[in-house]
Amino acid sequence: MQYPDSISQIKERAANIRLRMNHLADLAGVPPSTAHAKTPDGRERDVRSSTLRKLAEAQVQEELRLRDYLLTLHPIRNEETAA
Protein backbone atom coordinates (compact mmCIF):
# COMPACT_ATOMS: atom_id res chain seq x y z
CA MET A 1 0.00 0.00 0.00
CA GLN A 2 1.39 3.40 -0.95
CA TYR A 3 1.03 6.19 1.59
CA PRO A 4 1.49 9.85 0.66
CA ASP A 5 4.47 11.50 2.34
CA SER A 6 3.49 15.18 2.09
CA ILE A 7 0.38 17.25 2.64
CA SER A 8 0.49 18.26 -1.04
CA GLN A 9 0.22 14.61 -2.10
CA ILE A 10 -2.63 14.06 0.32
CA LYS A 11 -4.47 17.10 -1.05
CA GLU A 12 -3.94 15.96 -4.63
CA ARG A 13 -5.14 12.42 -3.98
CA ALA A 14 -8.11 13.71 -1.99
CA ALA A 15 -9.07 16.00 -4.87
CA ASN A 16 -8.86 13.06 -7.27
CA ILE A 17 -11.60 11.23 -5.38
CA ARG A 18 -13.50 14.44 -4.56
CA LEU A 19 -12.76 14.13 -0.86
CA ARG A 20 -12.91 17.51 0.84
CA MET A 21 -10.10 18.23 3.28
CA ASN A 22 -12.62 19.11 6.02
CA HIS A 23 -14.17 15.65 5.68
CA LEU A 24 -10.74 14.01 5.60
CA ALA A 25 -9.81 15.89 8.77
CA ASP A 26 -12.98 14.60 10.41
CA LEU A 27 -12.17 11.02 9.36
CA ALA A 28 -8.62 11.40 10.70
CA GLY A 29 -9.71 13.06 13.94
CA VAL A 30 -7.74 16.26 13.41
CA PRO A 31 -8.90 19.89 13.17
CA PRO A 32 -9.80 21.07 9.64
CA SER A 33 -7.23 23.86 9.87
CA THR A 34 -4.55 21.22 10.35
CA ALA A 35 -5.64 19.35 7.22
CA HIS A 36 -5.56 22.52 5.11
CA ALA A 37 -2.03 23.29 6.40
CA LYS A 38 -1.95 26.90 5.27
CA THR A 39 -0.09 29.78 6.84
CA PRO A 40 -1.88 33.15 7.15
CA ASP A 41 -0.16 34.33 3.97
CA GLY A 42 -1.43 31.28 2.03
CA ARG A 43 1.75 29.22 1.91
CA GLU A 44 1.75 25.56 2.87
CA ARG A 45 3.04 24.86 6.36
CA ASP A 46 4.76 21.78 7.68
CA VAL A 47 2.59 19.15 9.29
CA ARG A 48 3.78 16.90 12.09
CA SER A 49 4.62 13.42 10.90
CA SER A 50 2.07 11.87 13.29
CA THR A 51 -0.66 14.11 11.89
CA LEU A 52 0.42 13.42 8.34
CA ARG A 53 0.23 9.70 9.08
CA LYS A 54 -3.32 10.07 10.50
CA LEU A 55 -4.44 11.98 7.40
CA ALA A 56 -2.75 9.51 5.07
CA GLU A 57 -4.28 6.49 6.81
CA ALA A 58 -7.76 8.05 6.74
CA GLN A 59 -7.33 8.87 3.07
CA VAL A 60 -6.23 5.36 2.17
CA GLN A 61 -9.18 3.94 4.11
CA GLU A 62 -11.54 6.20 2.15
CA GLU A 63 -9.91 5.21 -1.15
CA LEU A 64 -10.33 1.54 -0.27
CA ARG A 65 -13.93 2.11 0.80
CA LEU A 66 -14.65 3.79 -2.52
CA ARG A 67 -12.85 1.04 -4.45
CA ASP A 68 -14.85 -1.67 -2.72
CA TYR A 69 -18.10 0.19 -3.33
CA LEU A 70 -17.33 0.59 -7.04
CA LEU A 71 -16.34 -3.07 -7.35
CA THR A 72 -19.74 -4.11 -5.99
CA LEU A 73 -21.37 -2.00 -8.69
CA HIS A 74 -18.96 -3.04 -11.44
CA PRO A 75 -17.44 -6.44 -10.66
CA ILE A 76 -14.39 -7.50 -12.60
CA ARG A 77 -15.10 -10.73 -14.39
CA ASN A 78 -12.51 -13.15 -15.62
CA GLU A 79 -12.56 -13.18 -19.44
CA GLU A 80 -12.60 -17.00 -19.52
CA THR A 81 -15.69 -17.29 -17.31
CA ALA A 82 -17.48 -14.41 -19.07
CA ALA A 83 -17.58 -16.22 -22.42
pLDDT tops 80 at residue 82: no
Q: At residue 7, what is the residue type?
A: I
pLDDT tops 70 at residue 81: no
- Phi and psi at residue 47, in whole multiples of 5°? -120, 140
Model pLDDT, residue 38: 81
Model pLDDT, residue 69: 96
Give the model confidence (pLDDT) of 8-49 as tens digits. Answer: 999 999 999 999 999 999 999 999 988 888 888 878 778 888
Domain extent, residue 46, equals 7-82
Give a yes or no: residue 71 inside a domain: yes
CB atoms closer than 10 angstroms to residue 63: 16
Among 35, 34, 27, residue whose Cα is nearest residue 63: 27
For the chain, how many structural domains are there in total?
1
pLDDT tops 80 at residue 77: yes
Model pLDDT, residue 3: 74
- The enclosing domain of 23 has a CATH number of 1.10.260
Among 39, 33, 35, residue whose Cα is nearest residue 54: 35
Give a yes or no: residue 1 inside a domain: no
